[in-house]
A and B are shown apart, each in its own frame.
Chain A
Amino acid sequence: MLTRRQAYEAQVRRRATTRAALSTFGVIAALVLLIPLAPGWPAVKRSFFNAEVFVDTFPGLLNAFVLDVAIFAWSAPMIFALGLLVALARDLRAPAAYPIRLFAILYTDIFRGVPVILVIYLVGFGIPGLGLPRPWNSPYIWGTVALVLTYAAYVAEVFRTGIDSIHQSQRTAAASLGLSGADTMRFVILPQAIRKVVPANMNIFIALQKDVALLSFIGPVEIFRQAGVYKSLMANFTPYVGAALIFLAITIPATRYADYLLAKQTRARS
C-alpha cells in the first residue's frame, strides 16, 4: 500500500515520463520529415550517408583506428608521468631548485596557450627538419612528443589543483610524526590528490583520444587520414561519418564513466 506522498510522487513521475516521451517523439518526427524537404537533401544523402560506401570502407577505417588507439596508448602514460613531474616541480621550494620551478611554470603557460595543431606542426615538421637520421625523423615519434608536451601541461595543472586541495591538517599530521617533506608528498598527499583528480584527468584523456587524429597532418595514416583517402577514391564523404561513429563508440562511454566517477566523488564529499 502506497502512502499518500508516494502515490502523489508516482503520479508526478508518470506524467513527466509521458510528456518527455511525447516531446522527444515530436522533435524526432519533425527532423525526419523536415530535413528531407531541404532542396539539397538527396545530394547530401548520397555523399554522406551512402550505405554501400559505408559498408565498403568501415573495416578499413576500423583498421586505421588501431593506430589511433596505439598512439593514445603509448602517449597516455608519458603524459601522466610528465604531468606529475611538472606538478611536483612547481612545488619545489629549495632556492637552488628555482630554475626548475621557473621552467615548469613557463612550460605549463606556453603549452596550454598554443593550439595543439600548431605544436604538432612545429615539432612534427621542425625537429625532423634538423636532418636527423632514421628512425629519428619519424612523424610517429615527434607527433607523439607534440601530444605529450601539450597534454602534460594540462595534466600538470590538474595534479597541482589536486595537491592544493588536500587539507593542510594532513601535512601537519605527517610533520608531527617526523616525516620528511618528500615522504609526506609521496605517501600522504599524492595518493589522495591523484585519486581526487581522476575524473578531471579522464576528461583530458578523452580529449587526447580525439586529438590523436590531428597527427594525420604530419603523416601517419590513422583513421582521419584513411577516411580522407577513401573520400578521394570514392568521391564520397561517408567515410568521415564512419570515422565519427568509431570515435563516438569510444568517447561516449568514456565520458559517461568520467561523469559517473565525478558524481560518485561529489556524493562522497557531501
Chain B
Amino acid sequence: MSLIETRALRKQFGTTTVLDGVDLSVEVGQMVCLIGASGSGKSTLLRCLNLLDPIDDGVILLGGEDISVPGLDPQPVRQRIGMVFQSYNLFPHMSAVENTMLAPRRVHGKSRTELLPEVTALFQRFGLGDRLHHYPDQLSGGQQQRVAIVRALAMHPEIMLFDEITSALDPELVGEVLDTLRELREDGMTMILATHEMGFARDLADRVCFLDRGIILEEGSADQVLTNPREPRTQAFLKRLL
C-alpha cells in the first residue's frame, strides 16, 4: 500500500494553474525525486502534501486516510510529515539543539532531559556532535541544513519532504548534505525530494518524476527517465542541464 498518494491533485494561485491533476504514489521506504524546471510545480506539490498550501481539487491520502478534506486540522498531519526547505528556516534566536527540541517538547510534551540523549545522538550521527549549542548564524550553510534535517527527524516523521535543499548551498557544501540524505535512504526513510541534483537522483532514487506545466509528464526508474527519456520535453529539459 502506498504511504502517501495523490489523485488528480489540482492547485491554483489566482488564475494560474500550478498543479493540473497530479497522480503520485509513494510506497513505504521509497525515495522519489521530482525534477523539472522552476515553476513546474515541484515545490507547490511538496507544500500541498504537508497541507501548507490548501489544494483546490483532488485527494491526498496519507496511510490510506484522506488528509485533503477541507477544514481538517492540519497539525496532526504535519506532525507525521517532516519537511526541509531550501532556505533552512532555522529559528535564529535558538541554538541548534533548542531548534531541534522545540517541536518534540511542545507537541509530544517531552522534557529537555528526556530528549537530550536522543537528540545528541542524532547530532553526532550527522557530524554535528560539537555544534549542539551553536546558533544558526554560527553555522555554515551545510551545517544549518543538516540541523534542519535533524530538527525534522526529531519528530519521528513517517515521511520526509525535501524542497531543493541543496540549491542555496555553496557547491563545496552540497556533498555533506547529500551524504545525510544517503544515510536516511539506508535507514529506509520514505522520502520525496524536489531536486536539481541529477547525479544524486540517478544513484539513489527508486523513481524519478518529471514535472512539466503542473503534471507528471514522465515517470519511471532513474535510468528510464534520466538516461532514456521518452518525452521530447523531458529530453529538452535534461539537455539544457548538461
Contact = CB atoms under 8 A, between A and B. Distances in A.
B112 to A, nearest CB: 13
Contacts of A172: 52, 85, 89
Given A172-B52, A187-B106, A177 B89 contact: no
A176 B83 contact: yes
A169 B47 CA distance: 12
B78 A175 contact: yes
Nearest to B51: A175
Interface in A160-201: 169-170, 172-180, 183, 187-188, 191-192, 195
A83 to B, nearest CB: 20
Nearest to B46: A176
Contacts of A179: 75, 102-103, 106-107
Interface in B179-217: none
B78 A169 contact: no
B117 interface: no
20 contacts: A169-B87, A169-B89, A172-B52, A173-B91, A175-B74, A176-B50, A176-B78, A176-B81, A177-B102, A177-B155, A178-B155, A179-B102, A179-B103, A179-B106, A179-B107, A180-B106, A183-B106, A191-B93, A192-B92, A195-B93
A187 B98 CA distance: 11
B14 interface: no
Contacts of A192: 91-93
Nearest to A183: B106
A178 B78 contact: yes
Given A173-B90, A176-B85, A177-B102, 19 more contacts: A169-B85, A170-B91, A172-B85, A172-B89, A173-B85, A173-B89, A174-B91, A175-B52, A175-B74, A175-B78, A176-B152, A177-B151, A178-B78, A178-B79, A179-B75, A179-B102, A179-B106, A187-B102, A192-B92
Contacts of A195: 93
Interface string B50-75: 10100000000000000000000011
A176 B52 contact: yes
Contacts of A180: 75, 106
A174 B106 CA distance: 11
B76 interface: yes
Contacts, number: 57
Nearest to B161: A176
Contact of A177 (B76, B87, B92, B103): B103
Nearest to B100: A177
A177 B92 CA distance: 16
Contacts of A175: 52, 74, 78
Interface residues of B, number: 24
Nearest to A168: B89
B159 to A, nearest CB: 12
B149 to A, nearest CB: 12
The 8 closest A-B pairs by CB, nearest first: A178-B79, A173-B89, A177-B103, A176-B83, A178-B78, A183-B106, A169-B89, A191-B93
Nearest to A177: B103
A191 B167 CA distance: 29
Nearest to A169: B89
Interface string A198-220: 00000000000000000000000
Contacts of B74: 175
Given A169-B89, A170-B91, A187-B106, A178 B83 contact: no
Nearest to B90: A173
Interface string B103-119: 10011000000000000
Interface string A214-254: 00000000000000000000000000000000000000000
A187 B107 CA distance: 13
Nearest to B78: A178
Given A172-B52, A187-B102, A178 B89 contact: no
Contacts of A178: 75-76, 78-79, 103, 107, 155
Nearest to A182: B106
A179 to B, nearest CB: 6
Contacts of B91: 170, 173-174, 187-188, 192
A177 B50 CA distance: 10
B16 to A, nearest CB: 19
Contacts of B152: 176-177
Contacts of B93: 191-192, 195
Interface centre among B52, B106, B107, B151 (most CB of A within 10 A): B106
A177 B91 CA distance: 12
Interface string A109-150: 000000000000000000000000000000000000000000
Nearest to B89: A173
A259 to B, nearest CB: 23
